[in-house]
Amino acid sequence: MPLRPSRIQHIRLRGAWRKEFRPDGDASPGDLPWLPAWGEDDEAEGSARDRPGVSEAADSADLAGEAAGNREVPVKLRHLRVAAERGHLEAMYLLAQECDDRVERIQWLTMAAERGHVPAMHDLGLASTALHERRRWLLRAAQHGWSESMAELGDVECS
pLDDT tens column, 46-71: 444 454 444 555 444 444 444 445 45
For 22-49, the DSSP string reads: -TTTT--TTTSPPPPPTT--STT---GG
- State the Cα–Cα distance between residues 146 and 151, nearest whole angstrom: 9
CA 31 to chain centre: 22
Start-end of CATH 1.25.40.10 domains in the chain: 86-158
Query: Quick one: pLDDT at residue 155?
Result: 83
pLDDT more than 70, % of the chain: 55
Cβ-count burial 103-130 (b if 16+ within 10 Å, e if not): eebbebbbbbbeeebbbbbbbbbebbee
Per the prediction, the chain carries an average pLDDT of 74
Task: Give the dihedral of Cα atoms 77, 70, 100, 145; nearest 10 deg.
Answer: 30
The predicted-structure confidence for 115-138, as pLDDT tens digits, reads as follows 999 999 999 999 999 999 999 999
CA atoms of 13 and 111, how far apart (whole Å): 37
Q: Would you say domain 86-158 falls under CATH 1.10.3720.10? A: no
Confidence of residue 10 (pLDDT cuts 50, 70, 90): low
